[in-house]
Amino acid sequence: MAETLRYTIAVSAAPERVWETLPTPEGSGATLFGSRIESSFEIGSRVEFVGQDADGERIVQVYGEITEFEPCRRFGYVQRPGPAHNPGHAETSCRMTHVLTPRGDGTDLELIIDRWSEGNPAYEHAISSYPESGYLAGVKAHAKARMA
């Protein structure tokens, strides 16, 4: 069984600025390779990260359900790969939870990845790519840029 992964980064920006990088189309587009988030953000509602395929057509890169949504504090969702990326997408999942904690004039952002489905290929990727991931670095850079 896959273990819970936890990664924390310090961001030199207020929680409100860090929050703007998470559940907003602009923030997700800047931090998730152009994929823009779409959701009502109600607990249990669908969330999609939508981009474009090689032909410029709309493609769901990742989808799932909202599990937590407390502005400027917590944002969580079950994540599944888009159908174009994994034929077993409906059975492949993990939960992504972002926890923001104010620290002085900045914010600690903890990313918790747990509830891995059996054999989820993203587990090995997450172990090898976090915390020095493009995603966490992008969150940090986007939040700091929003301060300017």
Predicted pLDDT at 148: 57
Predicted pLDDT at 147: 63
By CB atoms closer than 10 A (0-12, 13-18, 19+), residue 115 is middle
pTM equals 0.92
User: Tokens 């998470």 label which residue?
Assistant: 22
Predicted pLDDT at 101: 98
Q: CATH number, domain at 45?
A: 3.30.530.20
Tokens of 124: 């090995």
Predicted pLDDT at 3: 92
Q: Distances in Å between the alpha carbon of 78 and those of 16, 47, 93, 100?
A: 23, 9, 7, 18
Predicted pLDDT at 111: 94
Tokens of 143: 């939040």
Sign of CA dihedral 138, 33, 6, 99: positive
Q: What are phi and psi of 142, to 5 degrees?
A: -65, -40
Number of domains in the chain: 1
User: Tokens 């961001």 label which residue?
Assistant: 11
Predicted pLDDT at 37: 96
Which portions of the chain are predicted below pLDDT 70?
1, 131-132, 146-148
Predicted pLDDT at 34: 86
Predicted pLDDT at 146: 66
Predicted pLDDT at 5: 93
Question: Domain limits at 83?
Answer: 5-147
